[in-house]
Amino acid sequence: MDENAIHIPVLRDRSIELLAPAISSANAVVVDGTLGMGGHAAALLDTFPDLRLIGIDRDTDALEIAGRRLAPFGERAVLVHAVYDEIGDIVAEHAPDGVQGILLDLGVSSLQLDRAERGFAYSKDAPLDMRMDSTSPLTAERVLAEYSEGQLRRIFEVYGEEKLAGRYARKIVEHRAQAPLRRSSELVAVLTEATPAALQHAGHPAKRVFQALRIEVNGELAALERALPAALDSLAVGGRIVVLAYQSLEDRLVKRELARRSTSTAPAGLPVELPEHRPEFRLLVRGAGRATAEEIAANPRATPVRLRAAERLRPVLSGRDTATRQGIS
């Protein structure tokens, strides 16, 4: 298998273009917080010969592949096995003065989708695993076996935005009373049987449930909520962050945090905006960037992507200023 050809990085050129003003200088450091197989990372290191990169991923298989792919760059690339919500500690260790660029390419990776045995794809029969980090204890099989009907309904509703969440949760509980669900094909069969005939052609019945299970197993939204402020605080002044999101729940969190950090906190009517009230960031993209028709044709996985980016304008707030920003007296 040609590891350099198995993945086309989504919005690679646009991401590089947005990061370029911050990472072109000598001694610049960029963090790829979701390294995957190293497609974006290789392009960044190839484009900027003086750039150093810190690559983070929870998936040991991805790190192994990325390590081989980035080996020609030698010590310019440092790879770390971790969830990207540890970015603050990782940057403090490897770049204590802050970094100039951060890239977060969220969601499930091409490696995880393409390897059927990982259990992420509802179109391929495999064990119900769905772990991004194979050393973690929680699997989709355990969720389906141990969660109550109410818990299943909640994750299908919240993480999958599934309108039939209650119906699907009930059918799963009924089925597991007779036999455990261990393979993706078994879960797909239960969901298909539970879907009213009138809705059978309104998208695959397993799509949103599989998304919800994946998010639950990997704690994706909780990790993102922790990672975003830590990532923003890790940027030096003039540093830039680019985030690629593929579903509305992720994009909503990114949009909210970037909007909060790029808005003045000055009280209405204040004659002069004090330094501590000035926005910490400025947005670099109006709304959310999308893949072009040409890129989608070449790489269908780019279809749902939403790109958001921002630049740090001023240093991290002091403790007192942070309390002010959060409305604490």
In three-state form (DSSP H/G/I as H, E/B as E, the rest C), the secondary structure along 278-323 is CCCEEECCCCCECCCHHHHHHCHHHCCCEEEEEEECCCCCCHHHHH
pLDDT tens for residues 19-32? 999 999 999 999 99
pLDDT tens for residues 104-113? 999 876 666 6
Non-local (6+) Cβ contacts of 190 within 8 A are: 168, 171, 172, 175, 181
Task: Write down the pTM of the prediction.
Answer: 0.88
Q: How far is CA 276 from CA 145, 200, 266, in A?
A: 50, 55, 8
Residue spans per domain, the chain: 12-111+220-325, 116-218
- Looking at residue 111, its pLDDT comes to 66
pLDDT tens for residues 227-262? 999 999 999 999 999 999 999 999 999 999 999 999
- Looking at residue 325, its pLDDT comes to 40
Phi, psi of 91 (to 5 degrees): -65, -40
Label residues 178-205 b or e (16+ Cβ within 10 Å = b).
Answer: eeebeebbbbbebbeebbeeeeeeeebb
The rounded percent of the chain whose pLDDT value lies above 90 is: 75
**Angle at Cα 308 formed by Cα 205 and Cα 17, nearest 5°?**
120
- Looking at residue 69, its pLDDT comes to 96
Fold entry, domain 116-218: DNA polymerase; domain 1 (1.10.150)
pLDDT tens for residues 310-329? 999 998 655 434 443 444 33
Q: Would you list which residues are annotated within the binding site for S-adenosyl-L-methionine?
A: 38-40, 57, 84, 105, 112
53 vs 125, more confident:
53
Q: Would you list which residues are annotated within the binding site?
A: 38-40, 57, 84, 105, 112
Fold entry, domain 12-111+220-325: Rossmann fold (3.40.50)
Is the pLDDT confidence value at 14 over 50?
Answer: yes
pLDDT tens for residues 48-88? 999 999 999 999 989 999 999 999 999 999 999 999 999 99
- Looking at residue 269, its pLDDT comes to 66
Is the pLDDT confidence value at 7 over 80?
Answer: no
CB 277 within 8 A of CB 247: no
Instruction: Estimate the crossing angle of helix 220-234 against helix 248-261, to 10 degrees.
Output: 30
Q: How far apart are CA 99 and CA 96, in angstroms?
A: 8
Q: In CATH terms, are 12-111+220-325 and 116-218 the same topology?
A: no
- Looking at residue 113, its pLDDT comes to 67
- Looking at residue 197, its pLDDT comes to 84
